[in-house]
């Protein structure tokens, strides 16, 4: 799993079916790369989280039918980035 920081939410009106009720967050990796993740935890901008990718991302959702490839798995209590 990767360690990333929540940047913001993603507003996306036109979606394919199957993601409709999922919260989407924009995350930033330690290298500055931005990704989009499903958030079943309720993370806020600035939180450090770890993410599950690949097929594990679907299992990390309450509904595994969501077609995500990146899901927030938890909010890290303490994290000092030094990347």
33/70 Cα distance (integer angstroms): 14
Q: Is residue 67 within the footprint of a second copy (CB under 8 A)?
A: yes
Q: Is residue 45 within the footprint of a second copy (CB under 8 A)?
A: no
Is the CA virtual torsion 61, 47, 82, 80 positive or negative? negative
Of 21 and 65, nearer to a second copy (C-beta) is 65
Token pair for 22: 């999922």
Pick one of 7, 9, 19, 23: the residue that binds a second copy (CB under 8 A). Answer: 19
Name the residue among 14, 23, 33 with its Cα closest to residue 72.
23
Pick one of 7, 9, 23, 50: the residue that binds a second copy (CB under 8 A). Answer: 50
Q: Is residue 23 within the footprint of a second copy (CB under 8 A)?
A: no
């Amino acid at each position: 799993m990767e360690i990333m920081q929540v940047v913001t939410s993603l507003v996306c009106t036109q979606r394919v079916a199957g993601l409709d009720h999922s919260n989407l967050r924009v995350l930033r990796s330690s290298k500055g790369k931005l990704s989009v993740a499903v958030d079943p935890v309720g993370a806020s901008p600035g939180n450090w989280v770890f993410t599950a990718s690949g097929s594990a991302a679907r299992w990390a959702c309450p509904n595994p039918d969501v077609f995500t490839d990146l899901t927030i798995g938890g909010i890290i209590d303490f994290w000092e980035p030094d990347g």
